Structure 1
Amino acid sequence: MKIVVIGGTGLIGSQVVRELSEAGHDAVPAALSTGVDLISGKGLDEVLSGAEVVVNVANSPTFDEASLEFFRTSMGNLLAAGQRAGVGHQMVLSIVGVDQVPQLDYYRAKTLQEELLRDSGTPWSVVRATQFFEFVDAILSWTSDDSTVRLPATPVQPMAAADVVAAVVDVATGAPLNAVRNVGGPDAFTLDELGRVTLAARHDDRNVVVDDSAGMFAAVDGDVLVPGPDARLAPTHYADWLRSSR
């Protein structure tokens, strides 16, 4: 079947396109580089013509308050174009616990995106994933200097991007959930513990200090970023991924 992957040239989207194509589907990447503009709507009608499923893994160019308008406009355009094309299943990749962190502009924006999809009248699915292994180094860099990395003791349960892709492909090729599916990695850490594990694997002798005011995840209360008991846990362990990514 024809499946259009919005954001299909990025980290997750390009892998989703590849996996769907290898499974025999007509997987079509849609992005600015392919002539599709979510904000103006340019190219949407053309790329969605004949599509049965739309997988939306596009991301906002910013993580501040402007992300609210990005998701409001992009989802409005995408849902309207999908209705004109007769798309039977729209799905979005989101974040575990996203609706529990209103302190963060980006999380509020992703919650809005989910709400727009859920209220659209189109059969829908949301896959909420935990933080990606691939982003851990960037998270550490936000609050580090030459000798110290400062991190809050926020509970997290990260997962490999490849496992996120597998979860997205599984939902995209099935019947609409009309619900949220949570997915996460097999191992839980506090963020400071994750930092120590990462630095040790990188032979980085900087010291990790617990600082509950450091970085974006300092705004998170409790364990809302950890998937609950109904979540589907991915197979890849962080320690194994670290060894394979050296």
Structure 2
Amino acid sequence: MKIAVIGGTGLIGSQVVRILNSRGHEAVPHSPSTGLDLIGGTGLAEALDGVDVVVNLTNSPTFDEASIDWFRVSMDNLLAAAATARVKHAVILSIVGVDLVPALDYYRAKVLQEDVLKAGPVPYSIVRVTQFFEFINTVLSWDADDNTVRLPATRIQPMASSEVAEAVADASVGAPLQGTRSYAGPEVFTLDELGRIALATRGDRRVVVTDDSSGMFAAAQGDALIAKDDATIVKTTYMEWLNR
């Protein structure tokens, strides 16, 4: 099976390409570094020529309101090119609970991406996952100084990016779901709790201050980002991931 992985040089995409190729498929990574421009359309026809499946793992350059137009234009361009190339299956990566946090521009943008895919001309699968373990370092930098890190007590259920990539790879070689499949980590943390664990394991003496107005995840209330009953729970715990 020939599979075009758009965003195939990033954290998830590079792992998806490696997994698919190890399974005997022909997975080809595409990104701006390979000459693909999803917004302008340059390189799309060439990337999708002879392709059975297209996997879209690209991300907008910002998390603000501009991300809404970015996802709209990029998806419209991708699906038009995929239909012309007679691609049989389109897969995107989304977020567990993305439709439950409308206060976040980026989450509304991802919902729009899902909706454009659902209404498009190509059979599809949506893979929703929880936050990556790898993302915690970025979160720790958002509202921090030399002494403190401010984090909300938002409940999250993070997972390893390697298991995200496995989930995407599985969806890519399966029949189109015409729906959504969700995955989540085996443990639930509050974000401030996870921040304290992350700092302690690397000997960082900064103090985590619980601040429910701090950072983008402050907008997620209750169990919005926690897996629902239909989610597949993966195996790797946070401490297992750290020890690797």
* 1:199 equivalent in structure 2: 199
Structure 1 unaligned blocks of 5 or more: none
* 1:69 equivalent in structure 2: 69
Identity of aligned residues (%): 61
Q: Deviations over 1:150-209 (max 9, x none)?
A: 111100000111010000001101001111111111111011111111111112222212
The answer as to 2:143 corresponding to 1:140 is no
What's the CA shift for 1:121? 3.2
**What is the alpha-carbon distance in structure 1 between the residues aligned to residue 37 and residue 150 of structure 2?**
38
Contact 2:192–2:210 under 8 Å retained in 1: yes
The answer as to 2:3 corresponding to 1:3 is yes
**What is the alpha-carbon distance in structure 2 between the residues aligned to residue 104 and residue 231 of structure 1?**
23
Q: Deviations over 1:113-145 (max 9, x none)?
A: 000000113211100111111110110111121
Residue identity opposite 2:24 in structure 1: G
Regions of 4+ moved over 4 Å: none
The answer as to 2:190 corresponding to 1:181 is no
* 2:218 equivalent in structure 1: 218
How many residue pairs end up in the alignment?
244
TM-score, scaled relative to structure 2:
0.98
Secondary structure of 1:158 counterpart: coil
Structure 2 unaligned blocks of 5 or more: none
**What is the alpha-carbon distance in structure 1 between the residues aligned to residue 43 and residue 208 of structure 2?**
47
The answer as to 2:97 corresponding to 1:97 is yes
Aligned Cα RMSD in Å? 0.9
What's the CA shift for 1:235? 1.2
Superposed, 1:5-84 pairs within 5 Å as 5-84=5-84
What's the CA shift for 1:240? 1.0
**What is the alpha-carbon distance in structure 2 between the residues aligned to residue 137 and residue 3 of structure 1?**
31
Secondary structure of 1:41 counterpart: coil
What's the CA shift for 1:60? 0.6
Contact 2:142–2:215 under 8 Å retained in 1: yes
Q: Deviations over 1:33-70 (max 9, x none)?
A: 11111011111111101111110000111111111111
Secondary structure of 1:241 counterpart: helix
**What is the alpha-carbon distance in structure 1 between the residues aligned to residue 227 and residue 128 of structure 2?**
9
* 2:229 equivalent in structure 1: 229
Residue identity opposite 1:196 in structure 2: R
The answer as to 2:153 corresponding to 1:153 is yes
TM-score, scaled relative to structure 1:
0.97
